[in-house]
Each structure stands twice: as C-alpha cells, then as structure tokens.
Amino acid sequence: MEHILRYTKEAADFNEALPIGNGRIGGMVYGRVLRETVGLNEDSVWSGGMRNRVNPDAQEGLAEVRELLRHGDIPAAEKTAFEKMQGINPNCRHYMPLGDLGIDFFYFMENTSAIGNIETDGYERKLDISEAVSYVEYKAGDVTYRREYFISAPGNVLAVHVSADKPGKINLDAGIDGRDDEYDDNRPCADNMIMITGGTGSADGIFFAAVLSGSCSGGSLRTVGKKLRIREADSATLYVSARTSFYECDRGGADPLDKSFETKAIADVRAALGKEYESLKAEHIADYRKLYDRVRLDLCGEDRQSLTTDERLERFKDETNRDNGLMELYFNFGRYLMISGSRTGTQPLNLQGIWNKDMKPAWGSKYTVNINTEMNYWPAESCNLSECHEPLFELLGRVCKNGRKMAKEMYGIDKGFVCHHNTDIWGDAAPVDEWIPATIWPMSGAWLALHVYQHYEYTQDTEFLAKNYYLLKEAAEFFTEFLIPDEEGRLITSPSVSPENTYKTDRGVTGCLCMGPSMDSQIITVLFEAVIKSAAILDKDEEFASKLSEMLKKIPAPEIGKYGQIKEWAVDYDEVEPGHRHISQLFALHPADLITPAKTPELAKAAKATLERRLSHGGGHTGWSRAWIANMWARLYESDMVYENLHKLLGLSTNRNMFDNHPPFQIDGNFGGTSAIAEALLQCTGGEIILLPALPSQWKDGSVCGLKAKGNVSIDISWKDGKLTQARLASAAGGDYRIRYGGETRNVTLGGGSVFLWT
Ligand code: FUC
C-alpha cells in the first residue's frame, strides 16, 4: 500500500513543491539545498473585511428581468441583470499568502554566500502521507544532511528539523518574507525570536502575526536583523506559528489595540520550544493518524517504487500504462489533503485548499460554490473524515446570516437566505463577477445546505441535525417565495443560469440567463426532500413540511431532450459549447441520486447519453470536470469509464506534486478523484448500500477497509478476480439496511455495535 510521494530533484516551482498543513496553517516545501523555501499560508488571511455589495436597484431589476425572460427577450434581460442585479462591487474578498519561510544553508565556512552551486549526492525529497511528514536528504561533501518538515495541529506550529551525520555542520540563516505588500513589521520580538505582522487591507480587514524561533544542539543561535542565525550546530529545529485577528479578535480586526493574535503566536512557538522535538513530532503523527488510519485501500499494484512520483505520473500520459499503486496513492493523497487542509475549527478548503502563493490568485482562490467547494467535500463522509466536513458548516452559518439580508434586499424576500456562485471567509452572499454565465445563480445556499443533511445521513448525529436544521429550513424557505409558475403552472427559478453554460435558441440568439434550468429544479427537489425528512426526524415543523410536499409536486422532474440527453434547460436548447466542463443537468445523478439505473432506468440511459455527448465534444478538459465525470460513470456502474476518466485525471490533469491541475492548480479535482475511487467501490444511493458497484477490471484483486456508508456503517470489502470475496459491515448506530452486490440484495437489521458479514 502506497503512502509516499518521492522525488530526486528539488522542486523547480510551486507545482513540484510538497504540501504540508494542520488544517489552518499550510506550507509548500521546495526542498532546496541552498536556499530553501517553505511557502506559508494561514487560512484566514483574506484580503480585507466584509463587503456590502448588494445592488440598490436589484428588486426593480428582478421584476424587469423576469418580465423580459418571460417574453423571450434574452439580450435585454441580460443587459438589465448586468446593470441592476449584479453586486455593485463585483467581487468578494480573496485568499492571500502569508509569506515565505526562507532558509539559507551554508556548507563550507561561515559567511560563505549561499548562492551558487553545491554538489550533492543521493538527493531525495519525500512526503510520507501516512505520517504527514516531509523529508529531504542529501550528501554534501562527506556530510549527510536530513530535514524533516511538518505542521502540527495539536502544537499549532510548523517545524523544520535539520540534522547531519557529523557534528557542528549545520549553518543557516532563516527569515520570513515574500508578501508583495511588505509586512508592517519584521524584527525580533524577544530573544531568538522574530515576528512579522501585517494587515490585509480595508478598515475592518484581517491582521496577522507569524513568529519564527528555533533551537539547536551544539553551536550557537541568535538573531541578526530580521533573521535567525544558527552556526556550527549538530542539529537544529525551526518553529513558525501564525495567528490572525479573524480567529483571535471576534472575527476581524475591529479593535486596533487588540493584539491578542500576536501574543498567541508567541505562545505557540514558546510551547513548541518547551517540548522535545521528538515528542512534538510523535504527538503530531499520533494526532494525524487518528484520522488517516481509518481507511486502507489496497489495489494490489505492482511495485513501482523505484520510480519517482513524477516519472510515474508522466507514464500515465500513455493510455496503456497501468499503475494501480499510483491510483492508490492518489486516493490516499486526497485523504491527506483533507486532513491537512480542513480540521475542526479551521476554514473550509478553498479553490487551492489552503496552499496559495499568489497575492491575487486565480479566481481569488475563493469558495466557488457552483461546484468546486462542494466537490472538495465529496469524500469527507464516504472516506470516514466526517469531522473534516465541519468547517463547511461553520462557513454556511455565516453565509446564512448574510444571505438573509441578501434575500430581503436583493429579492424582497423576508424568509430564508440566498447565496450566489461564490463566497468568501465572511460568508458573502451577493452575486460575484461581472459574468453573466455564472453571476445570477441563487442556488448555492441550497446546495451547501445539502451537505448538512448528508453529514447527518452518514453520522446519524441527531444533535448535529437539530443544531443545523435551520440552515436546511432557511435555504428552503427562500424558495417558497422565490419560485414562480411557468406557463404550465410548474414552479421554477427565474432568473438563473445553468452554471456556466451558454445556450442557442432556434433563432440563433445566444444567452445564459433563463427560467428554470434543470439543475435548479433538481437541487430544490433534493433540498425540499431533505427538509421534510429532517423535520420528521426532529419531530417539528409539520406544517412547513407539508407545504414543501405540496410544492414538490410542481417542481419539474428531469426530462429527456432531442439527443436522448437530460435536458439542461427548460427549453431543449443546443449548447454553444457541447463539450462544456459543467454538466449541471446531471446533478440528479451525482451528487444527488434522483437518477439511478435501478429506480429510473430511462433517465439513467439519458444521463449516459449526456456524458457521451459532452465527452465526444472534448469534455472533461479541466481537472475537476474530469473528476466529476468519473463519479457520474460510477453512478451508472460503468466501471471501464470510471477507470478511463481516472486515468486521464492522473495523466492529463495532475501536476508533478500530485495537485490537481485545472489548469492552473485547483484542488477540487483531487477530492473529486478520491471520491470517484470510493464511489467505484461503495455507493449509498436509492436507499441501498451497493458493494463494488463499478469495480474497474484493472483493479482485479484488492481490498478496502473503513469506508463509510449512510446509517453510520463502516465497511470493509475484499475482492478477487473482480468478484467480491467478503464484506464486513459494522453498524455504530444500528438500523435497517438494504445491501446489494451484483444482482443480489439482502435486507438486514443490525443492532448498535453489531456486525454483518457478506460472504
Ligand atoms: C468555475 C469553473 C471554472 C473554475 C472556476 C474556479 O467558474 O467553471 O472552471 O473552476 O469555477
């Protein structure tokens, strides 16, 4: 079983550097011999405070746009929406780097410049994802150097430990730098301790502090200017902490005199200095493994470990290449990234997880919530990392607060909340970007709320559901007012878009804004159903639930269009780009299960035709889109297509450090790919637990342990020659389960803590 990313060269750029993180603090390790860089992030370093962006003319615009759409005047509807409905400041806040930890190593004599070349032997750079520790090892002259890097969640620090096999050989200068806007301060704050401080802009923006200190055995340690200097040490450890006003000062920097984040950053480093390095490391590994060790996947790959990870990825460009071990590693890497980027009390994974080097990153490295953020969390429950899902619910709470205001001010609706296709750390809910294909889409609050229900379905945690039920209810309440009848009396959204596709009418007019795109109706259907079920579980809101049941009868169901496909829009338009990366009309197939081969065979056939049509027109060209496609094929039990698309995800859309490539780097495809591997092995759809629903023939023998199914069941499965040999289902909560393998179904009732064996 594979857990190691391995390279024999320094990282040439970010796409080769290796990520480490504790959920909140992130690092990108380049492994350079002379001038080492660890790119630093802290997940609350976002560019400024909450913005009020609602367009003051939105309600007037809403009435006009609805009328124009009803009369088919698409260009005029889009023009009006552009002027009157989109946010008056088109963007919410974006994510930013904290800076770089730079370490200059000196090898021969004191004060030798670190710049230049040095001959090394046996250079190796690794990331061991079974322990969440990165290593660099090489020989310079007759000395073997070894470095270890990790970021501890319990310890709240980044640690870089440097050792050598001969005494007195460690000489280095370390400092933090690298934000283009420069820090407010960068100087010693105590003995052998440097602190940087800065702010991210705007009067109510976020302030941050990072502290660097260290210790060494043998040799000397002191500060020189804004650097920490270590000379002639036998071994040395550097520690970096980071804290922000967002966490420490009541969600922002409102009080300029409140410097508690600085005090806390100092305390973190002091606490680390007060421990033995080895015990800090052991504590980190134990904490990490509590989550990582829950799942084990064995695809019986051949031993390819003599090759480096980038060589193995390169070979995936050849479609005939087989390397099950690398798929296993990709799966494990997705779990690693989840644990390293999203822990209880941190911010959710954004477009780059928590790892971003740019002051103005692609798409702001924000939360794009018309697919990308949701995709980040697809493997959270199935891969037994439920608690890593929590930051998303915390953010949704903030979205809800702002979204209530948005519902009222933008749509004149005083019930529930609404959010559009992006949000930021503050939970901004207004339309984002001046871009008609995406901007006016009032659906993300609903989609995100479905994650609350999914978390409940997997964990059966009724207390959680009771606490967060309001998110589901309020997401639904908005639509009880927002939906309008179409000509047939069906209830639809208007205006909206089918993210981010453009249609062409019979008369050759192109447009995006429309009435009742299929995805909206599907999301609303699943949301209303989730609210009705939650209300019953919690024994409340009977009247509201029956109102939703009545409305559900009028929400359009998925329909089949002229190409035998699932219609994307209420009208069976052609797409301007038939290979478009978004396949929103198949939301019903995945992540939802309104369409399944067993329940709705005709619609499943149409879903297949939809995928084939997209793919035959060049679809799947971005990493996340390819990953979604693999999940969808899994839901159709098309195991060869699952494999083919996973193969392409690794071969065509994965950077050398295994990060997903949109391009540029965007982390959603990693999580989507991890989810697709899990979906091939286990599904919970249509009220059934399905064992090995889409097992690719290339994964002939293997086993998986610890996957989760709805109903709080842990499942171990093993198979041989493509056939199930045994499945073990351990139910924590107890309940009735319908389990299926191939054509055989078994109904079992399990008590809490009991086990069922399928042999
Ligand atoms: C959506 C996608 C793009 C990209 C962006 C961050 O707009 O359509 O492909 O992933 O989000």
Mean pLDDT of the chain: 96
What are the φ and ψ backbone dihedral angles of 576, each rounded to 5 degrees?
-65, -35
From the CA of 200, how far away is ligand 1's center (Å)?
Answer: 25
* Residue to probe by mutation, ligand 1, list 583, 666, 667, most atoms within 8 Å of CB: 666
Q: What is the 3-state secondary structure (H, E, C) of 277-316?
A: HHHHHHHHHHHHHHHHCCCEEECCCCCCCCCCHHHHHHHC
Q: Residue whose CA is closest, atom 10 of ligand 1?
A: 372
CA 495 / ligand 1 centre spacing (Å): 21
Tell me what the mean pLDDT of segment 417-438 comes to.
97
Residue type, 504: K
Percentage, residues of the chain above pLDDT 90: 94
Q: Whose CA is nearest to atom 11 of ligand 1?
A: 368
Write out the two tokens for 378: 């697809």
The pLDDT tens digits of the residues spanning 528-577 come to 999 999 999 999 999 999 999 999 999 999 999 999 999 999 999 999 99
Q: Among 358, 363, 501, which is best to mutate for testing ligand 1, by the most ligand atoms less than 8 A from CB? A: 363
User: How close is the Cα of 473 to the center of ligand 1, in Å?
Assistant: 28
Element (H, E) at 190: strand 185-190
Q: Which atom of ligand 1 is nearest to the CA of 362?
A: 6
- 599 C-beta neighbours (distance < 10 Å), count: 14
- Smallest CA-to-CA distance from 158 within 392, 395, 355, 388 is with 355
> What's the pLDDT tens digit per position in 156-183?
999 999 999 999 999 999 999 999 888 9
Residue 370 CA to ligand 1 centre (angstroms): 8
Report the distance separating Cα 666 and Cα 672, nearest Å: 11
Q: CA 420, CA 441: separation in Å to the nearest integer?
A: 5
Q: Is the pLDDT of residue 484 over 90?
A: yes
How far does residue 57's CA lie from ligand 1's centre (Å)? Answer: 28
The number of the ligand 1 atom at minimal distance from the alpha carbon of 421 is 7
pLDDT value at 115 more than 60: no
Residue 320's CB is within 10 A of a number of other CB atoms, namely: 6
pLDDT for the residue numbered 513: 98
Task: Give the distance (Å) from ligand 1 centre to CA of residue 686.
Answer: 30
**Rounded Cα gap, residues 498 and 440, in angstroms:** 10
Q: How much is the pTM? A: 0.98
CA 368 to centroid of ligand 1, rounded, Å: 7
- Dump pLDDT digits (tens) for 261-270: 999 999 999 9
* pLDDT score recorded for residue 110: 45
Compute CA 208 distance to the chain's CA centroid, rounded to the nearest angstrom.
Answer: 24
Q: What is 598-645 written as a DSSP string?
A: TT-HHHHHHHHHHHHHHHHTT---SHHHHHHHHHHHHHTT-HHHHHHH
- Residue 319: CB atoms within 10 Å: 9
- Residue nearest to ligand 1 atom 8, measured at CA: 500
Atom of ligand 1 nearest to the CA of 625: 9
- Probe residue for ligand 1, chosen from 433, 441, 497, 662 as the CB with the greatest number of ligand atoms within 8 Å: 662
Closest Cα to atom 1 of ligand 1: 368
pLDDT the model gives residue 252: 66
Asked whether residue 111 carries a pLDDT value surpassing 70, the answer given is no
Facing residues of 163 across strands?
Answer: 146, 235
pLDDT of residue 621: 93
Point out the ligand 1 atom lying closest to the alpha carbon of residue 499. Answer: 8
Q: Do the Cβ atoms of 68 and 138 come closer than 8 Å?
A: no
In the chain, what are the helix, strand and coil shares in percent, each to the nearest 5?
35, 25, 40
- Ranking 10-14, 317-321, 385-389 by mean pLDDT, the lowest is 317-321
pLDDT (average), residues 45-69: 96
pLDDT for res 46: 97
| Bridge partners, 36 (sequence order) | 103
Structure tokens at 529: 């159903």
- As a whole number of angstroms, the distance between CA 423 and CA 396 comes to 10
Task: List the one residue out of 13, 83, 89, 85 whose CA is nearest residue 47.
Answer: 89
For ligand 1, mutation pick of 351, 368, 498 (most atoms within 8 Å of CB): 368
For 340-361, what is the mean pLDDT?
98
Q: Measured in angstroms, how far is the CA atom of residue 501 from the centroid of ligand 1?
A: 11
Phi/psi for 447 (5° steps) reads -65, -45
Q: How confident is the model at residue 127 (pLDDT cuts 50, 70, 90)?
A: very high
Distance of CA 500 from the midpoint of ligand 1 (Å): 8
Nearest atom within ligand 1 for CA of residue 582:
8
Q: Give the Å distance between the CA of 662 and the centre of ligand 1.
A: 8
Distance CA 180, CA 532 (A): 51
| CB distance 384 to 410 below 8 Å | no
- Residue to substitute in 581, 584, 671 for testing ligand 1 pocket (most ligand atoms within 8 angstroms of CB): 581
Classify residue 375 by its DSSP letter: H
The rounded distance, in Å, linking the Cα atoms of 533 and 556 is: 20
Distance (Å) from CA 91 to ligand 1 centroid:
15
Residue 112 has pLDDT above 60, yes or no: no
Across 48-52, 146-150, 390-394, least confident range: 48-52
3-state secondary structure of 336: helix
Burial code (b: 16+ CB inside 10 Å, e: under 16) for 668-692 equals bbbbbbbbbbbbbbbbbbbebbbbb
CA distance 709 to 370: 25
Centre of ligand 1 from the C-alpha of residue 439, in Å? 12
What contacts 640, CB < 8 A, 6 or more positions away? 696, 697
pLDDT confidence bin for 117, thresholds 50/70/90: confident
Per-residue pLDDT band at 116 (split at 50, 70, 90)? low
Domains and CATH numbers, the chain: 4-46+96-183+212-241+262-292 (2.70.98.50), 54-88+366-589 (1.50.10.10)
Q: What is the average per-residue pLDDT within 675-692?
A: 98
Buried/exposed code over 519-557 (b: 16+ C-beta within 10 A; e: otherwise)? bbbbbbbbbbbbbbbbbeeeeebeebbebbeebeeebbe
Q: Taking 90 as the threshold, does the pLDDT of residue 257 lie above it? A: no
Query: Which residues does ligand 1 sit against, CB inside 6 Å?
Result: 351, 363, 368, 372, 438, 500, 581-582, 622, 624, 662, 666
Please answer whether residues 587 and 635 qualify as being in contact, where contact means their C-beta atoms are separated by less than 8 angstroms. no
Q: What percent of the chain is predicted at pLDDT more than 70?
A: 98
Distance (angstroms) between ligand 1 centre and the Cα of 499 equals: 9
